[in-house]
A and B are shown apart, each in its own frame.
Chain A
């Protein structure tokens, strides 16, 4: 039997790779900030800097899947029409 802790590290690694690859794919295609239509938004589309997808990617890479996804969701919720926007680096 494999050590369950070892197993968890392995799943975490795969999950991280899959999520980051998905975000990369999104950024290369549909993303209004980085993708096909980015030329239309000279100052960037997202009101935050870095954009939500970039922020989420960094968060998942640095903080791990669970925490990273949680703070990504929180960021997207903050990226609403009533918020101020501006510089918002991952802490």
Chain B
């Protein structure tokens, strides 16, 4: 199993990185890592743009979604039906996919392994025959050794960029009954998450911190583009919604007192009977 992953994931990325090291001027490993990170982000660009767009579209209708959720609190089936109807009405749906998230994590692990085995000639036997062996490998980039942890500059930069990036991601417009504990949690995490980033980046080789910094940088640019497109400003703020305009989160008069509403299955059943009757006649 592990050799399967080595063959299919580790060796191709090792080759690509070594090819870039051999191609870039000065044979800088750091420059190769930056290039490879940008290549990966470009591959993921269409999907991640689409995901941020769908996120904003969904945030726009968040008040209505809260209303539906409140109304069908006790009837999961009706709730999801009504949600689907709402999505259809506004022509939106969640577009986030989990695979790109996993891919980013896997790339991080592979980078870690590549940096850990070191950039020396001992491992050139892993290179494909058509990849030229780099004549020299330069690990030092602006005084930073890519294979050793960098204690301050890169981790702090990664944390700061992570903070800006998280801050820029839009948040749903405020709603009347905003008692969701996750909203408060989210606010704290904007500040706490970059700190975790700093501590993790301090303990990893500087090459990984570079990957982190470049990823955040590209995502900031992406978010900036999206925010401008939706007129949300650099920070990604939704214009304040007047409270009077928000839908009322109350039950409809015909609903059951416990917040459920019985869906009508009658029509479907009648159809089924018709079909069976016809079949018998044949």
Contact = CB atoms under 8 A, between A and B. Distances in A.
Contacts of A71: none
B55 A41 contact: yes
Interface stretch (B91-99, B128-136, B270-278): B91-99
Secondary structure dominating the interface of B: helix
Contacts of A45: 55, 94, 96
A49 B80 contact: yes
| Interface range, B side | 35 or more
Contact of A40 (B47, B61, B101, B186): B186
A38 to B, nearest CB: 5
A46 B180 CA distance: 20
B253 interface: no
B58 A77 contact: no
Contacts of A81: 46-47, 50-51, 95, 97, 99-100
A83 B97 contact: yes
B58 A36 contact: no
B193 interface: yes
Contacts of A38: 182, 186
Contacts of B149: none
B97 A39 contact: no
Secondary structure dominating the interface of A: loop
A9 interface: no
Closest 6 CB pairs of A and B: A81-B47, A45-B96, A36-B189, A42-B62, A43-B58, A79-B98
23 contacts: A36-B185, A36-B193, A37-B186, A37-B189, A38-B186, A39-B172, A39-B180, A40-B171, A40-B172, A42-B61, A42-B65, A42-B172, A45-B55, A46-B94, A46-B97, A52-B98, A76-B98, A77-B99, A79-B97, A80-B97, A80-B100, A81-B95, A85-B97
Interface of B: 46-47, 50-51, 55, 58-59, 61-62, 65-66, 80, 83, 87, 92-102, 169-172, 180, 182-183, 185-186, 189, 193
